[in-house]
């Protein structure tokens, strides 16, 4: 068998070069799809980490999953019971779906795996988690029938997955609208508004007048294009201008 430094390394290097030249998420996804297919995986789903308040669809970076499966997964809220989901968040190492022992998961989770394999042809699955210093960041899930299950193939997939996620993140960062610039004082005041403090409370905490607090909130609302304080707080949190 060839070592990873042979054919597999060249396959990974070629995919990385093409991902680096890609200018869109679909361009990156196409490279991943072709590489996965070369190892027998016909289905691909690349999912990014996000806050629990965000819908599942907003976390998808790339998806070439059977439409019938994707639709059933969404409508039936399979994500809540999918045994792969918690494992990919907790385990940094690559793993196969078959590594999940059926006796260790709930009946609902076993049913999902059965439906995926028997009703939608997702018989052999592989997951490549992406973990950073702050924990889980993303995960690539692959599925197919006659797949190459060698350590060398897995190593190539894992290497490309990590590079692809970085490229996805870079493109997403470029596409995001620029955040609204709040002054340090505006951020401080809005932070206390988010914490539920009144104008008087905030004036005491920051040693400024209540009138200054109200004027600062009004200025922040204008910059955030918000009609109410609640809207301003929500927009400031969304843009990462304040934490809550």
Domain ranges, ordered by start, for the chain:
4-175, 184-238
Per-residue pLDDT, averaged over 199-221, amounts to: 93
Fold match between 4-175 and 184-238?
no
Query: What tens digit of pLDDT does each residue of 107-124 get?
Result: 999 999 999 988 888 889
- How many other CB atoms are found less than 10 A from the CB of residue 18? 17
Which CATH number describes the domain made up of 4-175? 3.30.450.80
What is the token pair recorded at 66?
């059977």
Can you tell me the distance from the alpha carbon of 134 to that of 169, in angstroms, rounded to the nearest whole number?
15
Per-residue pLDDT, averaged over 189-218, amounts to: 92
- Residue 67 CB-density burial (10 A; 0-12 exposed, 13-18 middle, 19+ buried): exposed
Per-residue pLDDT, averaged over 41-54, amounts to: 78
Share of the chain above pLDDT 70, in %: 91
Q: How confident is the model at residue 240 (pLDDT cuts 50, 70, 90)?
A: confident
Domain 184-238 has CATH 1.10.10.10: yes
Can you tell me the distance from the alpha carbon of 75 to that of 86, in angstroms, rounded to the nearest whole number?
20
Most confident segment among 72-76, 130-134, 224-228: 72-76
């Amino acid at each position: 068998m060839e070592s990873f430094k042979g054919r597999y390394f060249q396959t990974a290097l070629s995919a990385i070069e093409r991902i680096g030249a890609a200018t869109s998420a679909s361009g990156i996804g196409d490279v991943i799809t072709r590489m996965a297919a070369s190892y027998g995986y016909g289905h691909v789903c690349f999912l990014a980490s996000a806050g629990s308040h965000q819908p599942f669809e907003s976390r998808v970076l790339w998806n070439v999953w059977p439409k019938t499966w994707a639709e059933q997964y969404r409508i039936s809220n399979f994500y809540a019971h999918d045994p792969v989901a918690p494992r990919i968040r907790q385990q940094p190492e690559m793993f196969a779906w078959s590594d999940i022992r059926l006796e260790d998961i709930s009946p609902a989770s076993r049913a999902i795996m059965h439906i995926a394999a028997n009703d939608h042809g997702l018989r052999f699955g592989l997951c490549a988690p992406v973990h950073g210093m702050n924990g889980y960041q993303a995960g690539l899930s692959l599925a197919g029938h006659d797949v190459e299950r060698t350590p060398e193939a897995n190593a190539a997939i894992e290497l490309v997955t990590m590079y692809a996620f970085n490229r996805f993140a870079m493109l997403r960062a470029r596409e995001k609208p620029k955040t609204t610039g709040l002054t340090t004082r505006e951020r401080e005041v809005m932070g206390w508004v988010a914490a539920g403090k009144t104008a008087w409370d905030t004036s005491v905490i920051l040693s400024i007048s209540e009138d200054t607090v109200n004027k600062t909130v009004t200025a922040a609302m204008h910059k955030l294009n918000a009609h109410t304080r609640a809207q301003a707080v929500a927009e400031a949190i969304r843009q990462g201008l304040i934490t809550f």
